[in-house]
Chain A
Amino acid sequence: GQNIDQPTEMTATEGAIVQINCTYQTSGFNGLFWYQQHAGEAPTFLSYNVLDGLEEKGRFSSFLSRSKGYSYLLLKELQMKDSASYLCAVRDSNYQLIWGAGTKLIIKP
């Protein structure tokens, strides 16, 4: 079967750095996405990886290792507004997105 694993919840301090991990087992791989979802709102796109390595976008970076079925999202200089759920999704061989349950990130002052 297809499976995306992420930690359920993480806590970090304002101004710090946090890494959210995602491991996947899917039928085929055609890219990995990270989305942010604030409570009661729709998911919004953060990053896309299809090749191994690090993609940096401001305070957010995403890493992919296809051989290990592993990705992480790195958030630097955490702000209170970063409190949200972070969703990992893999595009499978049918070009459909398979979604993890999300990681709820709590930022403390």
Chain B
Amino acid sequence: IAGITQAPTSQILAAGRRMTLRCTQDMRHNAMYWYRQDLGLGLRLIHYSNTAGTTGKGEVPDGYSVSRANTDDFPLTLASAVPSQTSVYFCASSAEAGGNNEQFFGPGTRLTVL
């Protein structure tokens, strides 16, 4: 693995189903983030984790949950998907949460909820 990976690349999901989007980084970054990107809107933060074992809510957390059991992995779960969760989901990481630490992005997961 080089950098940050996400799986699946894309998914079509029936409303009401449970879905976990996977994110793994091999850069030993402390901070990780989940964003959604919708046409005409900026990236919106769903959840974040400043270090393994801790998580926090972003701007649009409802309907989503995360866990951070170790440094490398930061899965995002949709407990019961709804059509408004149709979006492109990006996972990102940075060495630390503050300072001039840039965020590195995974390739994204395109999710369609029908």
- A interface with B by C-beta (< 8 Å): 4, 30-31, 33, 41-45, 48, 50, 87, 89, 91, 95-102
Asked if residues B97 and A95 are in contact (CB atoms below 8 Å), the reply is yes
Q: Is B100 an interface residue (CB 8 A)?
A: yes
- Counting contact residues on chain B (CB < 8 A from A), the size range is 20 to 34
Given contacts A91-B98, A95-B97, contact A42 B105 (CB under 8 A): yes
Q: Is B41 an interface residue (CB 8 A)?
A: yes
Known contacts A42-B108, A87-B42, A99-B42; 15 additional CB pairs below 8 A are: A30-B98, A31-B99, A31-B100, A42-B90, A45-B104, A50-B100, A87-B43, A89-B42, A95-B98, A96-B48, A96-B59, A97-B43, A97-B103, A99-B35, A99-B44
Residues in chain B near residue A91, CB distance under 8 A: 98
Residues in chain A near residue B105, CB distance under 8 A: 42-44
11 pairs across A/B with beta carbons < 8 Å? Answer: A31-B100, A33-B103, A42-B90, A42-B105, A42-B106, A43-B43, A43-B90, A87-B42, A96-B45, A98-B42, A99-B35
Main secondary structure of the interface of B (DSSP, over half): loop
Residues in chain B near residue A95, CB distance under 8 A: 97-98
Residues in chain A near residue B41, CB distance under 8 A: 101
Q: Is B58 an interface residue (CB 8 A)?
A: yes
Q: Which residue of A lies closest to B106 (CB)?
A: A42
Residues in chain B near residue A97, CB distance under 8 A: 43, 45, 103
Q: Is B53 an interface residue (CB 8 A)?
A: no
Inter-chain CA distance A30–B97, complex, in Å, is: 11
Residues in chain A near residue B43, CB distance under 8 A: 43, 87, 89, 97, 99
Residues in chain B near residue A98, CB distance under 8 A: 42
Q: Which residue of B lies closest to A49 (CB)?
A: B100
Q: Is B26 an interface residue (CB 8 A)?
A: no
Inter-chain CA distance A99–B105, complex, in Å, is: 14
Asked if residues B100 and A4 are in contact (CB atoms below 8 Å), the reply is no
Q: Of residues 94 to 114 in B, which have CB atoms within 8 Å of A's CB atoms?
A: 97-100, 102-108
Least distance between A77 CB and chain B CB atoms (Å):
24
